[in-house]
Amino acid sequence: MDIQIEHFPLKFIRPAGTSRGVMNIKNSWFITISHSGIEGKGEISIIEGLSKEWTSKTEFEGTIFSFIHDLKKIISKNDSLPRWNELLDLIPNLAAYPSILFGLETALLDWENGGESIIFNNAFSRGEQKIPINGLIWMGDEHDMLSQIDDKLQSGFTTLKMKVGAIDFKKEHAILKSIRSRYSSKDITLRVDANGAFNSSIVHDRLNRLSELDLHSIEQPIAPGQFELMANLCAKNLVPLALDEELIGVHSTAEKIQLLEHIRPPFIILKPSLHGGIIGTKEWIELAEDRKIDWWMTSALESNIGLNAICQFVGEYLTELPQGLGTGSLYENNVPSALKVQDGHIFIS
């Protein structure tokens, strides 16, 4: 048995702008577990400034190797690899490191399924199912964002997700208004993602303005941790709200229930690398569905290794909502993959 870790900095083809700043490089680590002639691969994906477990590259890599050491001891003691869903029972403190947990879960699932990049054996992984996805519009100047929008529409996307909160709001509003003047909500579904950019003094005004545009939803309009304000915004429902960053760092079942029942959001957005790995994300889905809260899954800017795992994970559920899984074309050095995006859907070709 062998476990290898490879640091793999992903290089954006074009700078990726959000309200938290511009990214040119995104850190990832690939895990390869080799046993009995089979290799299973997973990915640890970190977004600096968002992933709570991140401090520095040196310290984070030390944490990865510490968990690998723990895993090797468990394997040596039992003379076998653990099942993917046993990891938190065997190494409970992994719960606080969802990116590492997701990488290990994926590597073990790949190994369990023969090392052929099959994470879940379902219609998607067999190439029988296509998943609808949104086209992502990154922040930039007005001309750049309009150009991105035209490209996505020409590529067959009918759901667009636009980042807001970094350039002048009047310009962002004008861009959205321009799209809506050309395409009704029956033609194009518009989502926006504020990444917590609006403070309490302006958020009501911003949502009032956005409510004119027949949007599907807005992700995380305010910074996480403002539970009363978020609950108030959800109750007013000027624009349907989707929680994203709000879920980061919430690990226990009791905390998840308290958050969902207090805020009562229409939607939650799930990233396994941020929201508890596969096991934690499954629990979020179960708790949300019990409370009639809809959800969709997105990539935490993984390479094709992590993206493939998330797509197959989504394939375990019957959901018609477009997912946030169109990130495979972001990098100039992405790894080869059987994933293909066409006409607003992702599938295995």
- 40-56 residue pLDDT tens: 999 999 998 889 999 99
* pLDDT (0 to 100) of residue 182: 86
**CATH fold for domain 2-112:** Enolase-like; domain 1 (3.30.390)
- 117-149 residue pLDDT tens: 999 999 999 999 999 999 988 777 778 878 888
- 252-311 residue pLDDT tens: 999 999 999 999 999 999 999 999 999 999 999 999 999 999 999 999 999 999 999 999
CB contact at 8 A, 348 and 129: no
Helical ranges in 199-267 per DSSP H: 203-210, 227-236, 253-263
CA distances from 230 to 17, 30, 143, 220, 266 (A): 25, 36, 33, 9, 12
Active-site pick, 152, 161, 256, 271: 271
Question: In whole angstroms, what is the distance from residue 206 CA to residue 212 CA?
Answer: 11
Active-site pick, 26, 41, 152, 163: 163
Kindly write down the DSSP assignment for every residue of 68-136, as one continuous string.
HHHHHHHHHHHTSPPPGGGHHHHSGGGGG-HHHHHHHHHHHHHHHTTSSS-SS-STTTTT---EEBPEE
Q: Enter the tokens of residue 10.
A: 């992903």
* pLDDT (0 to 100) of residue 17: 66
Q: Which residues of 10-29 are buried (b: 16+ CB within 10 A; e: fewer)?
A: bebeeebbbbbeebeebbbb
Question: In whole angstroms, what is the distance from residue 346 CA to residue 344 CA?
Answer: 7
Q: Of 66, 140, 129, 136, nearest to 96 (Cα)? A: 66
**Domain covering 131-348: architecture:** Alpha-Beta Barrel (3.20)
- Listed by start position, the domains of the chain span 2-112, 131-348
**Is the four-CA dihedral 90, 92, 98, 99 of positive or negative sign?**
negative
DSSP 275: T
Helical ranges in the chain per DSSP H: 57-78, 87-90, 98-112, 142-154, 169-182, 203-210, 227-236, 253-263, 277-290, 304-314
Q: Which residues pair with 244 in a beta bridge?
A: none
**Is the four-CA dihedral 241, 307, 126, 31 of positive or negative sign?**
negative
- Report the mean per-residue pLDDT for the chain: 94
Whether the per-residue pLDDT at 19 is higher than 70: the answer is: no
Question: In whole angstroms, what is the distance from residue 121 CA to residue 110 CA?
Answer: 10
* pLDDT (0 to 100) of residue 326: 87
Q: Enter the tokens of residue 275.
A: 């929201």
Question: In whole angstroms, what is the distance from residue 307 CA to residue 252 CA?
Answer: 25
- 220-231 residue pLDDT tens: 999 999 999 999
For residue 77, name the pLDDT band (cuts at 50, 70, 90). Answer: very high
Annotation marks residue 271 as catalytic = yes
**Is the four-CA dihedral 243, 244, 248, 253 of positive or negative sign?**
positive
Q: Please give the average per-residue pLDDT across 228-256, as a whole number.
A: 97
Instruction: Look at residue 219 and give its three-state secondary structure.
Output: strand
Annotation marks residue 177 as catalytic = no
CB contact at 8 A, 205 and 233: no
Question: In whole angstroms, what is the distance from residue 60 CA to residue 74 CA?
Answer: 21
**Is the four-CA dihedral 93, 98, 103, 107 of positive or negative sign?**
positive
Q: Where are the beta strands (DSSP E) in 300-349?
A: 339-342, 345-348
